[in-house]
Amino acid sequence: MALYIGVSEAISPLPTITLSQLTSTLGAQLRGDGALCIGGMASLDQASEQQLSFCTSSRDQERLQHTRAGAVLLTDQLAPLCNTACIIVDDVRLAYAKASQHFSPTLPPPSVHASAVIDPTAQLADSAHVGPLCHIAAGAFIGERAVLESGAIIGCDSHIDDDCHIGPHAVICHGCQLGKRTSIGSGSVIGGDGFGFAWVNAERRWEKIAQLGRVLIGDDVEIGSLSTIDRGALDDTTIGNGVKIDNQVHLGHGVQVGDHCAFAGNTTVAGSTRFGSWCRIGGGAIINGHLDIGAGASITGSSSVMRDIPERATVGSVIPASDMRKWLRTTTLLPRLQDLFRRVSTIEQRSQSR
Amino acid sequence: MALYIGVSEAISPLPTITLSQLTSTLGAQLRGDGALCIGGMASLDQASEQQLSFCTSSRDQERLQHTRAGAVLLTDQLAPLCNTACIIVDDVRLAYAKASQHFSPTLPPPSVHASAVIDPTAQLADSAHVGPLCHIAAGAFIGERAVLESGAIIGCDSHIDDDCHIGPHAVICHGCQLGKRTSIGSGSVIGGDGFGFAWVNAERRWEKIAQLGRVLIGDDVEIGSLSTIDRGALDDTTIGNGVKIDNQVHLGHGVQVGDHCAFAGNTTVAGSTRFGSWCRIGGGAIINGHLDIGAGASITGSSSVMRDIPERATVGSVIPASDMRKWLRTTTLLPRLQDLFRRVSTIEQRSQSR
Amino acid sequence: MALYIGVSEAISPLPTITLSQLTSTLGAQLRGDGALCIGGMASLDQASEQQLSFCTSSRDQERLQHTRAGAVLLTDQLAPLCNTACIIVDDVRLAYAKASQHFSPTLPPPSVHASAVIDPTAQLADSAHVGPLCHIAAGAFIGERAVLESGAIIGCDSHIDDDCHIGPHAVICHGCQLGKRTSIGSGSVIGGDGFGFAWVNAERRWEKIAQLGRVLIGDDVEIGSLSTIDRGALDDTTIGNGVKIDNQVHLGHGVQVGDHCAFAGNTTVAGSTRFGSWCRIGGGAIINGHLDIGAGASITGSSSVMRDIPERATVGSVIPASDMRKWLRTTTLLPRLQDLFRRVSTIEQRSQSR
C-alpha cells in the first residue's frame, strides 16, 4: 500500500583503495605491499587485514605491535615498532582525516524523489539530490550537487549553495543562506525565531518582538544534529567560513561567529555575542549575551562566561566532580567564605597590633 | 517527478506602512514626514532610509546621530539628538516590539496541502492552514486560523485551539491541548513520555512506568525550537497563559508552570516542580524535581536549583569564567576548605587562650 | 485536497481491568470488591472512583485518608489508614509501574500507511506498523510488531529488531542496529556524525574526519525525545541492554554504555567514554571524553566529570543556588582563595615561631 519506488536508492558498497593509491593521495611514504586493497578503517585493536589503522603516540606501542591491521598511518619515529605495512606521514591525525574520507558512503546520485514537495517557484540544480518527503518552499534556491536527505525542509526564499548537505528532518527557515559545502545535521533548525519579548509592565505580560533578521552561514561549515541557530531580531545572525558546531548547540539571535571557530556539544550562546575567528568552545559551556569573545580564545567545557574575553585567552569556571559527600560539605562552607576572610583579617590585625 | 503543486505557496512581499499610520498604531507622537513609507526595521548602524530603527539609551547617542534610518523610535529625552524622523514613545522597547510585528511575514492563507495526511475523524477549521507533509491523527481538533507548517504532527485526540502556530516538524503527542494563539517552534516535542522507571531490585533492571498524563498549555504561550515538554506520569503537566520558553528547554513530567513565566535556552527542569507566575529562569539552569519556585522568583542562568525558592527571590550558583590556569589552582583548594576553616578556628582559640 | 485515509487510525479507548484481575497480575493481595472496574490511574488527590492510585509513604497519610480513588496500591503497613479498596504489595513503586502499563494506549495494528516511502530492498515484517510519512531506506530491516510512528526515518542497512517502537520524526541513520523492545523517542537522532576534525595547522582550518562506525543498541533500551547518539568515528558506539536515556541527552562518538545505566535529561557525554553497568547520571551532567566510569557509579546532576570514576562511587560538583547577591560576593572571593591559604600559613608559622 505504501509508496514503493521502483528503483532502490541503496547506498553503494564501501569503496576500496590500494595502499599505493592511498599513500600517493596523502603525499606520504609507503613501507609494504602497495597492491594491498584497503576497504575501511578501524582502531589498532579492532582493525582487520583489509583495514587501515593509525597510531599517534608511543603510548600505544603495545597495541601497535599486536595490531592485525593491513596498514598503519604513523610517523617515521613509530614505524620501527610496527609489524605490518606503514604509511609514514608527518601529521598522523590529519592523514587519518584525509584517509577516512575515502571510506564514507558515496553521495546519492542526482534525483528528486517522487514524494518530495517542491514549490514551482523554487530553483533546483539538475545535479541536486532531493530525498523522500522533503519540502522545498517558494523562491528557495538549491545549488549544484546539493544533497537533501529525507524529510529536509527548505523555507521560502532560502539559499542552499553548491555541494551543501542537509540531513534528515533538518529545517532551514525562510530567507536563510548557506555557503558552499556546508553541512547541516539531522533535525537541526536554522533560522527559528530568537527569544525576544518586551515586558509590558502595566499588564504584567510579555509582548513578542518579531524576529526580522536572517541566518547567514559561510562555506565549509558543519553543524551537527539537533542544534539551533536563531534568526536575528533585526540584524542577521552570521556564521563564518569553516566553523564546526557539534550536536544540541544553541546560538541565539544576532550571534556573530568568526571563521574556523569550533563549538562542542550542548553549548548555549545567548543573543548578540560576537566571536573572533578560531575560538574553541568546550561542551556544555553557557555564554551570556552581548559579549565580545576575542579571536583565538578558548572556553573550557562546562564553564559560564559572563564577561568579554580577550584574544587568545583560555578561560573556565568548571569544577571537577569529586566524592559527593565531601563535596556537599564544601558547598556548605562557600557561603561562609566572606566571614572566613574577615576572621583572617582580624587575626592579622591583632597580630600586627601586638 | 516530485509533487509540484500548481500554485506557488510563496510568502507575500513584506508589508509597508507609512510613518503616520505606524505612529497612530503605537499611540505615539511623530516628528517628521508622516507620508514616508517604512518597509522594515534594522539597528541604528544598519538601517536604510526605508527602515525604522530604535534607540533606548543615551549611550547610543553617537550611533543615533549617524543613523541613516528613515525614522527612529525613542523617548522625548533622546529626540533632540536625532537628525531624522522620530516616533516619540514612553516605552521604547515595547513600541519596538509592537512595530516589529508589522514587518513579520504574513500568515499563509487557509488551505490544506495535498500531501498532508489527515485522519477522517480529525476536526479541522476551514480557516486553518495545513502545510505539506503534515499529519493530523484521529480525533484531533484544529481551530480557526491555526497554522501548521510543513511536517507538523498532531497526535490523536489532541486539541490545537484558534490562531495557534505549529512550526515545521513540531510534534504534539496524543491527548495534549494548546490554548489560543499559542506557538510551538520547529521540532519541539509536546507530550513525549516522561522519564519514569521503577527499579526492580531482584533483577537489577528498570521497569517502565507508563506515562498516563497529558500536557495542557494555556493561551499566548510561545515555545522555541527543539524544546521538550513531557506528558505527566499520572497528573497532567501544565503550562499557564503567556509563558515564554526558549530553544532546547526541557520540562519534565508533571511540571506546573504559572502564568507569564519565561525560560531561557537550554534550561532543564526535572519532574513535578511547580513555578508560580512571573518567574524568570536564565539560560542553562538545572532545576531539581518536586520543588516549589515562588511567584516572581528569578533564577540566574547556569545555576543549579536544589531547594524550594521563596516568592520574588533571586537565586544563583553560577561562577563566572576567568583565566583557566588560575582557576584550576582555585579548584584544587576547594576540597581543602574544610581544613582551612579548622585551621583558622585553631588559631582563634589559641589567640583567645593567651 | 489532502490525503484522507478511508479508515481512521484512531487509538482504541483506554482498556479497563477489574481489581481482581489487576491484583492477580501483580501477584498481590486484595482488600475490597474484586469486581470493580478500573479504567486508569491518578494521584491520591486527583483519582476518581474508577481510577487506581498508589501511596508509598506514611507522609502521605492525610492524602490517603481523603482519596476518592477506587483502589490504592500500598504496603500492608499503610493499609489500615486507607478507607477504600487496597491492593497490598511489597514494592509499591514496582507494582505502580506494572499496573500503569495496563492503561497506556494500545499499540496500533499491523499496517503500512499509504504515504510511507519504503525502498523495495527493505525487509519489513508483516506484523509491523508503519505510520504516515515514514521513510524506510534501502536494505533496512524492520522486525515483528515493530511500530514506526509518523515521520520516522530508518536509514540504509539499519536493523530495527522485534517490538521496537520508533517515535514520530525519530531518525535512525544508516547501518545502526536496535535490539528487541527498544524504544526511541520523538525526534531523537541515532547515528548522526560524531564531532571529529583534524586541525590543519598550515592552513589554520579544520579537516573533517569521516565517521565510519555505527551505533549498536541492545534490548529493552528506552531513549526519550530529542536525544542524540553519534555513530563511532572508527569503532562503534554501543549501548547495552536495559539502558534508559531521558530527553535531550547527547552521547558522543565511540561512547560505550554498560547494561541498565540511566541518564537523566540534558546530560552530555564527550567521545569514547566508557560506562560500566548500572551507572546513574543526574540531569545536566557534563562528562569529558576518554574516561572510565566504573560500574554502579552515580554522577550527581549538574556536575562536571573530568577524571575516571571508580566503581560504585558517588561524585558531584554541583553548587546549590542561593541568594544571588550574597553568592556574587562569594564568587569574587574565590580567586583570592590561594592568597587566603598563604595568609593562614603565614599566621601559623609566625605563631609557631613565637
Of C269, C208, C23, C46, nearest to A266 by C-alpha is: C269
pLDDT band at B6 (very low <50, low <70, confident <90, very high): low
CA atoms of B170 and B191, how far apart (whole Å): 11
Residue A341: how many other CB atoms lie within 10 Å? 17
Asked if B303 and B164 sit in the same domain, the reply is yes
User: Of C48, C76, C102, which residue constitutes the final position of a domain?
Assistant: C102
> Chain A within 8 Å of B254 (Cβ-Cβ)?
no
- Assess if residue C279 is contained within a domain: yes
Judged by CB atoms closer than 8 Å, whether chains meet at B46 and A115 is answered as no
Asked if A251 and A143 sit in the same domain, the reply is yes
Residue C44 CA, chain-centre distance (Å), reads 26
Of B40, B48, B44, nearest to B17 by C-alpha is: B40
Asked if C144 and C46 sit in the same domain, the reply is no
Look up B250 and say whether it is catalytic: no
Judged by CB atoms closer than 8 Å, whether chains meet at C264 and B270 is answered as yes
> Chain C within 8 Å of B205 (Cβ-Cβ)?
yes
Of B226, B105, B243, nearest to B178 by C-alpha is: B243
CA atoms of A209 and A100, how far apart (whole Å): 46
For chain C, which ranges sit under pLDDT 70?
A: 1-14, 354
- Closest residue, chain B, to A139 (C-alpha): B10
Asked if B207 and B238 sit in the same domain, the reply is yes
- Check residue A5 and give its pLDDT: 47
Q: Which of B113, B253, B260, B290 is catalytic?
A: B253
Chain A hits for B283, CB-CB cut-off 8 Å, are 268, 270, 286
Q: Smallest Cβ distance to C135: which of A151, A186, A222?
A: A151
Asked if B311 and B337 sit in the same domain, the reply is no
Judged by CB atoms closer than 8 Å, whether chains meet at B248 and A252 is answered as no
Chain C hits for B303, CB-CB cut-off 8 Å, are 321
Under DSSP, the state recorded for B320 is: B
CA–CA distance from B315 to each of B279, B312, B318, C164 (Å)?
Answer: 12, 10, 10, 43
Q: Smallest Cβ distance to B198: which of C97, C264, C327?
A: C97
Residue C63 CA, chain-centre distance (Å), reads 30
Complex ipTM value: 0.95
Asked if A270 and A145 sit in the same domain, the reply is yes
Between chain A and chain B, how many beta carbons pairs sit less than 8 Å apart? 259
Judged by CB atoms closer than 8 Å, whether chains meet at B298 and C324 is answered as yes
Judged by CB atoms closer than 8 Å, whether chains meet at C168 and B157 is answered as no
Judged by CB atoms closer than 8 Å, whether chains meet at C222 and B230 is answered as no
> Chain C within 8 Å of A17 (Cβ-Cβ)?
no
Q: Give pTM, 2 decimals.
A: 0.96
- Check residue C257 and give its pLDDT: 98
Taking 70 as the threshold, does the pLDDT of residue B13 lie above it? Answer: no
- Check residue A113 and give its pLDDT: 97
User: Of C38, C72, C102, which residue constitutes the final position of a domain?
Assistant: C102
- Assess if residue C12 is contained within a domain: no
- Check residue C13 and give its pLDDT: 60
C-alpha cell at C17: 481491568
- Assess if residue C98 is contained within a domain: yes
CATH number for position A68: 3.40.1390.10
CA–CA distance from B149 to each of A154, B113, B135, B187 (Å)?
Answer: 12, 10, 11, 11
> Chain A within 8 Å of C5 (Cβ-Cβ)?
no
CA atoms of B150 and B113, how far apart (whole Å): 9
Q: Which of C102, C129, C135, C253 is catalytic?
A: C253
Could you report the per-residue pLDDT of B139-176, keeping only the tens digit for each? 999 999 999 999 999 999 999 999 999 999 999 999 99
For chain A, which ranges sit under pLDDT 50?
A: 1, 5
- Check residue C92 and give its pLDDT: 97
A: neighbours with 3+ CB pairs under 8 Å? Answer: B, C
Domain count, chain A: 3
> Chain A within 8 Å of C51 (Cβ-Cβ)?
no
> Chain A within 8 Å of C63 (Cβ-Cβ)?
no
DSSP one-letter string for C266-303: T-EE-TT-EE-TT-EE-TT-EE-SS-EE-TT-EE-TT-
Q: Smallest Cβ distance to C226: which of B200, B228, B270?
A: B228
Chain B hits for C56, CB-CB cut-off 8 Å, are none
Judged by CB atoms closer than 8 Å, whether chains meet at C347 and B347 is answered as yes
Domain carrying residue B293? 112-315
Residue C64: how many other CB atoms lie within 10 Å? 24
Q: How many residues does chain B have?
A: 354
Q: Are A160 and A199 in contact (CB under 8 A)?
A: no
Alpha-helix residue ranges (DSSP H) falling in C197-336 = 324-333
Q: Which of A159, A250, A253, A260 is catalytic?
A: A253
Asked if C210 and C179 sit in the same domain, the reply is yes
Of B59, B54, B94, nearest to B74 by C-alpha is: B54
Judged by CB atoms closer than 8 Å, whether chains meet at B133 and C131 is answered as no
What residue type is A140 in one-letter code? A
- Assess if residue B9 is contained within a domain: no
- Check residue B1 and give its pLDDT: 40
> Chain B within 8 Å of C348 (Cβ-Cβ)?
yes
Of B248, B117, C156, C122, nearest to A187 by C-alpha is: B248
C: neighbours with 3+ CB pairs under 8 Å? Answer: A, B
Q: Are C171 and B187 in contact (CB under 8 A)?
A: no
Could you report the per-residue pLDDT of B37-93, keeping only the tens digit for each? 999 999 999 999 999 999 999 899 999 999 999 999 999 999 999 999 999 999 999
Q: Label the pairing between strands C17-18 and C37-38.
A: antiparallel
Residue A32 class from Cβ within 10 Å (0-12 exposed, 13-18 middle, 19+ buried)?
middle
C-alpha cell at B37: 513609507
- Check residue A74 and give its pLDDT: 97
Q: Are A344 and C340 in contact (CB under 8 A)?
A: yes
- Assess if residue C5 is contained within a domain: no
Asked if A87 and A122 sit in the same domain, the reply is no
Asked if C179 and C309 sit in the same domain, the reply is yes
**Which of C126, C209, C325, C332 should be substituted to probe chain A, the one whose Cβ sees the most A Cβ atoms within 10 Å?**
C209
- Closest residue, chain B, to A233 (C-alpha): B42
Under DSSP, the state recorded for C70 is: S
Could you report the per-residue pLDDT of A184-216, keeping only the tens digit for each? 999 999 999 999 999 999 999 999 999 999 999
The secondary structure of chain B in percent helix, strand, coil, rounded to multiples of 5, reads: 15, 30, 55
- Assess if residue C107 is contained within a domain: no
CA atoms of A51 and B247, how far apart (whole Å): 42
Q: Are C279 and C261 in contact (CB under 8 A)?
A: yes
- Assess if residue A259 is contained within a domain: yes
Say what angle helices A337-353 and C337-353 make with each other, to 10 degrees: 30
User: Of B67, B102, B137, which residue constitutes the final position of a domain?
Assistant: B102
Asked if C132 and C172 sit in the same domain, the reply is yes
Asked if A244 and A172 sit in the same domain, the reply is yes
Asked if A166 and A278 sit in the same domain, the reply is yes
Judged by CB atoms closer than 8 Å, whether chains meet at A324 and C315 is answered as yes
> Chain A within 8 Å of B261 (Cβ-Cβ)?
no
Judged by CB atoms closer than 8 Å, whether chains meet at A91 and C230 is answered as no
What residue type is B12 in one-letter code? S
Under DSSP, the state recorded for B204 is: T
**Which of B186, B277, B323 should be substituted to probe chain A, the one whose Cβ sees the most A Cβ atoms within 10 Å?**
B186
Helix (H, G, I), strand (E, B) or coil at B235: coil
> Chain C within 8 Å of B138 (Cβ-Cβ)?
yes
- Check residue A15 and give its pLDDT: 76
CATH number for position C282: 2.160.10.10
Q: Are A257 and A239 in contact (CB under 8 A)?
A: yes
- Assess if residue B127 is contained within a domain: yes
